[in-house]
């Protein structure tokens, strides 16, 4: 179901979980809406089939809907974040943080050392989100995006296996939970 058609009753029950094949059409719809059609259904199917890929969805528990999607590849010791998107009606509620948190947790559990991604220079929301999680700019690809000719910034987040990283994960989780609580239970998101 299209998330826009769902009433946002409080609290909204949500969960993040690995994507399944039945969810692929909804993931592609969200991709179209948020990312302009980055991948086709076959592209997402390849992610499901790959043992080196973590494809996560943020789903409402009260209906078969997808309100967020995130994907990362494990390549050698690196986590390459390829997709992160939240439905426009659900943004600025901490859900992008929750998805990024889960990707980094998955990367840590896989034993990966560092995480990287590319982001449009104009994408302030994403840049701000990644900076909160310790990503730093390490380079730039000139005119990387064909639609606008914009540059891509290359961000890296290192030390995913540092002894202090599990503690950082716990602190992020606590901050996210406090934020959900401050918003008077608007979101009821369980962490895995
Ligand atoms: C980037 C995106 C995933 C963020 O999702 P979200 O659920 O709104 O993010 P959150 O509510 O968790 O916000 C986390 C932080 O991001 C930043 N942020 C989010 N929206 C912002 C906005 N509109 N303007 C500025 N900063 C913003 C803030 O720093 C925020 O932290 P704060 O609320 O403590 O200040 C979402 O905007 C999106 O799907 N964008 C389109 C797809 C995209 O650009 N993906 C990234 C590709 S690299």
> Residue 144 C-alpha to ligand 1 middle, in angstroms?
21
Among 126, 127, 174, name the best residue to mutate to test ligand 1's pocket (greatest count of ligand atoms within 8 A of Cβ): 126
Select the more confidently predicted residue: 77 or 14: 77
The better pLDDT of the pair 11, 15 is held by: 15
Q: Is the pLDDT of residue 121 over 60?
A: yes
What interhelical angle do 124-132 and 95-109 show, nearest 10? 50
The pLDDT value given to residue 188: 65
pLDDT at 178: 86
- Respond yes or no: is residue 130 known to be catalytic: yes
Ligand 1, atom 20: nearest CA belongs to which residue?
A: 125
Dihedral angle over CA of 108, 113, 119, 122, nearest 10 = 90
Residue 190 has pLDDT above 70, yes or no: no
- Record the tokens describing residue 73, joined without a space: 């590849």
Atom of ligand 1 nearest to the CA of 83: 47
* Closest ligand 1 atom to 81 CA: 48
pLDDT at 13: 82
Residue closest by Cα to atom 26 of ligand 1: 125
Question: CA–CA separation, 105 vs 23, rounded Å?
Answer: 22
pLDDT for the residue numbered 9: 55
Catalytic residue among 118, 137, 150, 168: 118
Element (DSSP H or E) covering residue 48: helix 41-49
- pLDDT tens-digit readout, 71-114: 999 999 999 999 999 999 999 989 999 999 999 999 999 999 99
Whole-number Å distance between alpha carbons of 164 and 170: 10
**Do 177 and 85 contact (CB within 8 A), yes or no?**
no
User: Distance between CA 135 and CA 165 in Å, rounded?
Assistant: 14
Domains of the chain: 8-176+184-190 (3.40.630.30)
What is the C-alpha separation between 157 and 173, in angstroms, rounded? 18
The pLDDT assigned to 168 comes to: 96
pLDDT of residue 128: 98
- pLDDT of 5 higher than 70: no
Give the pLDDT of residue 6. Answer: 57
Token pair 């086709």 is at which residue?
40
Spatial CB neighbours of 183, under 8 Å, sequence gap ≥ 6: 93, 94
Closest CA to 113 of 154, 77, 156: 77
**Residue whose CA is closest, atom 23 of ligand 1?**
125
Ligand 1, atom nearest to 132 Cα? 29
User: Which ligand 1 atom lies nearest to the CA of residue 91?
Assistant: 8
Residue 2 has pLDDT above 80, yes or no: no
* pLDDT at position 97: 95
191 is catalytic: no
Share of the chain above pLDDT 70, in %: 89
125 lines ligand 1 (CB under 6 A): yes
Alpha carbons 169 and 108: distance in angstroms, whole number:
10
Q: What is the pLDDT of residue 181?
A: 77
Residue 59 structure tokens:
């789903």
Ligand 1, atom 1: closest residue by C-alpha:
126
Q: Write out pLDDT tens, residues 31-67.
A: 999 999 999 999 999 999 999 999 999 998 888 889 9
Q: pTM of this prediction?
A: 0.93
Strand ordering across the sheet containing 65-75: 136-141, 152-157, 114-120, 78-86, 65-75, 53-60, 12-18, 187-190
């Amino acid at each position: 179901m299209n998330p826009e058609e769902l009433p946002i009753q409080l609290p909204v029950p949500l969960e993040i979980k690995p994507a399944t094949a039945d969810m692929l059409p909804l993931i592609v719809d969200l991709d179209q809406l948020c990312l302009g059609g980055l991948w086709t259904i076959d592209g997402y199917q390849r992610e499901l089939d790959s043992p080196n890929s973590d494809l996560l969805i943020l789903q409402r528990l009260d209906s078969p809907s997808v309100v967020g999607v995130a994907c990362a590849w494990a390549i050698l010791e690196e986590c390459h974040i390829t997709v992160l998107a939240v439905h426009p009606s659900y943004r600025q509620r901490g859900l992008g943080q929750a998805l990024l948190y889960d990707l980094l947790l998955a990367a840590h559990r896989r034993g990966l050392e560092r995480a990287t991604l590319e982001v449009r220079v104009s994408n302030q929301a994403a840049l701000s989100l990644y900076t909160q999680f310790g990503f730093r700019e390490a380079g730039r690809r000139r005119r990387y995006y064909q639609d606008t000719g914009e540059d891509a910034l290359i961000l890296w987040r290192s030390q995913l296996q540092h002894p202090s990283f599990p503690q950082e994960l716990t602190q992020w989780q606590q901050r996210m939970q406090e934020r959900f609580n401050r918003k008077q239970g608007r979101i009821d998101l369980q962490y895995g």
